[in-house]
């Protein structure tokens, strides 16, 4: 058995489809691919009944959209609202633009979407979507319904030095060379394991404590960056800033002091801010960002495409890098609308004469498309997931572009 067959054999599927023959055809295809656990439902209502049964344990749902009774859209809404932990593959004969808007709706309802297939379903399309299941997908897991930690618990974790930085490389698409590394905060919780930033950043921001984390991240990032630079790797380190910090006029000075204290030249540090962070407290944000840029720091616009800034607003700030949000990158090879946004973002980066970085490069087709569009750098699971320091330095030694 190859890896894919082994993987499929271990998964439980639920086919939601009103048409008996099509249900049979998909079941047959899944079984041919090695699936041993396949359930069926004729519409959304029957599917929900199965999912609510604690013994059912479904991993992947393959659902039609157009069904009498409860249609696919309503079914997805209920599955999202009930927090059912399952991944979806949409299969529909509707036209591509309509499937695209349902794709967007699905993720907006908090559902993990593996792919959307235009009918007739083929085994190749099914396998491509199912394979995404084995990729780590923290964008779904890291959105807890309610905060699971209190500020006191976070402060205790901080005092116990349980916070650390993970590192994820950014590589040049044309050559595979590592050009930068993003630092991403993690909490190594003694009981809950490694906790993602979604569970603590907002609470730290709302309570006015985010700077403590930012400064600690700057320290760890500067130390590691110095280490890899001494080892001969000419790569920058990127640190995420919060919009809250930019409201304080003294912030730029504190960042500079921190980095200089670790003997790192600010030119080797990139600070990432989202479009909305850069434009929320416009006056102080511009003062801070201009001062940081003046001292040599690189500035990146993070999650580009998810905010509402205009090109004029962005051109006022001396950004050096444009990070195109992963939602457009991931769907650009299948969704026309995402592809248009991706292409125009690349065009804009070129006009502003700044580096274009694609986030969330997960698969080979994503990578190939970005190469063909002339994007500068890529970051994502296709290259490497964020890694703890030890694993990251080990990875650096073994990385070579195997494409
Ligand atoms: P971000 O700055 O957009 O960081 C990229 C996120 O995408 C990271 O999530 C990363 O693990 C994830 N990612 C990387 N490659 C892929 C991929 O191929 N596919 C998918 N689906 N995801 C990928 P993470 O580490 O959970 O961080 C979430 C967000 O938390 C970050 O988004 C950033 O906004 C924030 N954050 C992380 N560290 C810090 C920090 O030190 N300070 C502040 N203020 N915010 C931070
Ligand atoms: Ca970032
Ligand atoms: Ca981002």
Pocket test for ligand 1, best of 170, 208, 240 (most atoms within 8 A of CB): 240
Q: Which ligand is nearest to the CA of 184?
A: 1
378 Cβ closer than 6 Å to some ligand 1 atom: no
**Whose CA is closest to atom 5 on ligand 1?**
359
Q: Which pLDDT does position 136 carry in this prediction?
A: 62
Q: Which pLDDT does position 283 carry in this prediction?
A: 87
Q: DSSP labels for 49-78?
A: HHHHSTTT---EEEE-S--SSS-HHHHHHH
Q: Please give the distance, rounded to the nearest whole angstrom, from the Cα atom of residue 214 to the centre of ligand 3.
A: 16
242 Cβ closer than 6 Å to some ligand 1 atom: yes
Q: How far apart are CA 202 and CA 244, in angstroms?
A: 10
72 exposure class (CB count in 10 Å sphere: 0-12, 13-18, 19+):
buried
217 Cβ closer than 6 Å to some ligand 1 atom: yes
**Whose CA is closest to atom 30 on ligand 1?**
197
Q: How far apart are CA 140 and CA 62, in angstroms?
A: 18
Q: Distance between terminal CA atoms of the chain?
A: 24
Is 0.95 surpassed by the pTM of this model? Answer: no
The closest-lying atom of ligand 1 relative to the alpha carbon of residue 184 is 38
The closest-lying atom of ligand 1 relative to the alpha carbon of residue 196 is 26
Q: Which ligand is nearest to the CA of 306?
A: 3
The closest-lying atom of ligand 1 relative to the alpha carbon of residue 165 is 41
Q: How far apart are CA 402 and CA 116, in angstroms?
A: 28
> Between 96-108 and 72-81, two packed helices, what is the crossing angle to 10 degrees?
10
Per-run averaged pLDDT (10 residues), the chain, 403 residues:
82 94 94 93 94 86 92 90 89 84 84 90 93 68 59 95 97 96 97 92 94 97 98 97 94 98 98 86 89 96 83 81 92 86 93 94 93 97 96 92 60
Rounded to whole angstroms, what are the CA distances from 196 to 40, 141, 213? 35, 9, 14
Q: Which pLDDT does position 25 carry in this prediction?
A: 94
Q: Which residue in the list 82, 359, 362, 388 is annotated as catalytic?
A: 359
Q: How far apart are CA 368 and CA 184, in angstroms?
A: 26
Q: Please give the distance, rounded to the nearest whole angstrom, from the Cα atom of residue 154 to the centre of ligand 3.
A: 23
Q: Is 153 a catalytic residue?
A: no
Q: Please give the distance, rounded to the nearest whole angstrom, from the Cα atom of residue 323 to the centre of ligand 3.
A: 7
Pocket test for ligand 1, best of 144, 180, 184, 324 (most atoms within 8 A of CB): 184
Q: How many Å separate Cα 374 from the centre of its chain? A: 21
Q: Which pLDDT does position 207 carry in this prediction?
A: 94
103 Cβ closer than 6 Å to some ligand 1 atom: no
Q: Using the 8-state DSSP alphabet, how is residue 387 labeled?
A: B
**Whose CA is closest to atom 46 on ligand 1?**
240
Phi-psi region of 305 (alpha: psi -120 to 50; beta: other; left: phi over 0): left
**Whose CA is closest to atom 19 on ligand 1?**
360
Q: Which pLDDT does position 1 carry in this prediction?
A: 55
Q: Which pLDDT does position 139 carry in this prediction?
A: 46
Q: Which pLDDT does position 402 carry in this prediction?
A: 60
Q: Please give the distance, rounded to the nearest whole angstrom, from the Cα atom of residue 102 to the centre of ligand 3.
A: 23
């Amino acid at each position: 058995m190859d890896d894919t067959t082994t993987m499929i054999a271990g998964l439980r599927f639920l086919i939601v489809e009103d048409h008996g023959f099509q249900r049979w055809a998909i079941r047959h295809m899944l079984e041919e691919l090695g699936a041993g656990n396949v359930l069926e439902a004729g519409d959304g209502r029957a599917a929900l009944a199965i999912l609510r049964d604690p013994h059912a344990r479904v991993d992947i749902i393959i659902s039609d959209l157009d069904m009498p009774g409860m249609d696919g859209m309503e079914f997805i809404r209920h599955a999202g609202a009930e927090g059912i932990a399952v991944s979806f593959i949409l299969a529909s004969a509707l036209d591509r633009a309509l499937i695209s808007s349902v794709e967007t709706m699905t993720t907006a309802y908090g559902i993990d979407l593996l792919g959307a297939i235009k009918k007739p379903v083929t085994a190749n399309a099914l396998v491509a979507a199912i394979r995404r299941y084995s990729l780590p997908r923290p964008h779904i897991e890291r959105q807890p319904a309610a905060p699971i930690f209190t500020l006191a618990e976070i402060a205790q974790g901080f005092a116990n030095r349980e916070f650390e930085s993970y590192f994820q490389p950014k590589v040049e698409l044309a050559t595979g060379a590592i050009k930068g590394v993003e630092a991403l905060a993690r909490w190594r919780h003694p009981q809950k394991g490694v906790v993602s930033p979604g569970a603590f950043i907002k609470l730290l921001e709302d309570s006015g404590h985010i700077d403590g984390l930012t400064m600690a991240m700057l320290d760890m990032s500067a130390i590691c960056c110095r280490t890899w630079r001494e080892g001969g790797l000419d790569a920058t380190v990127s640190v995420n800033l919060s919009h809250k910090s930019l409201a304080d006029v003294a912030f730029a000075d504190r960042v500079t002091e921190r980095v200089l204290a670790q003997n790192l030249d600010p030119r080797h540090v990139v600070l990432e801010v989202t479009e909305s962070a850069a434009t929320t407290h416009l006056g102080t944000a511009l003062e801070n960002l201009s001062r940081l840029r003046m001292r040599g720091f690189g500035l990146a616009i993070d999650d580009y495409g998810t905010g509402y800034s205009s090109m004029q607003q962005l051109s006022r700030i001396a950004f050096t890098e444009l990070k195109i949000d992963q939602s457009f990158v991931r769907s650009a090879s299948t969704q026309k609308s995402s592809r248009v946004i991706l292409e125009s973002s690349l065009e804009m980066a070129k006009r502003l004469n700044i580096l274009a970085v694609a986030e969330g490069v997960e698969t080979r087709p994503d990578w190939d498309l970005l190469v063909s569009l002339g994007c500068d750098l890529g970051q994502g699971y296709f290259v490497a997931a964020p890694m703890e320091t030890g694993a990251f330095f080990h990875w650096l030694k073994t990385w070579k572009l195997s494409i």
